[in-house]
Amino acid sequence: MSADLRLILFDVDGTLADSQNAIASAMVSTFEGLGLEVPAHGDILSIVGLSLPLAMDQLAPSQSAEVRYQLVEGYKRAYMDKRLAQGAGHSPLFPGASEVLAELHAVPEYLLGVATGKSQRGLDALIAAHGLGCFVTKQVADHHPSKPHPSMVLTAMAETGVEPANAVMIGDTSFDIDMGRAAGVRTIAVDWGYHPAADLGADHIISRFDQLTPLLQQIWKT
Catalytic residue ranges: 11, 13
For Cα atoms 78, 79, 80, give the angle at the middle one, nearest 5 degrees: 95
Q: In degrees, to the nearest 5, what angle opens at C-alpha 90 toward C-alphas 126 and 133?
A: 20
How far apart, in whole angstroms, are the C-alpha atoms of residue 14 and residue 191? 10
Question: Of 92, 187, 85, which is closest to residue 132 (Cα–Cα)?
Answer: 92
For the CA atoms of 118, 108, 210, 167, the dihedral, rounded to the nearest 10 degrees, stands at 50
Q: List CB contacts of 91: < 8 A, sequence separation 6 or more.
A: 13, 17, 18, 19, 22, 83, 126, 129
Short-list 68, 184, 171, CA closest to 118: 171
Q: Assign 115 to helix, strand or coil.
A: strand
Q: Cα–Cα distance between 97 and 87 in angstroms, integer?
A: 18
Q: Is 7 helix (H, G, I), strand (E, B) or coil?
A: strand
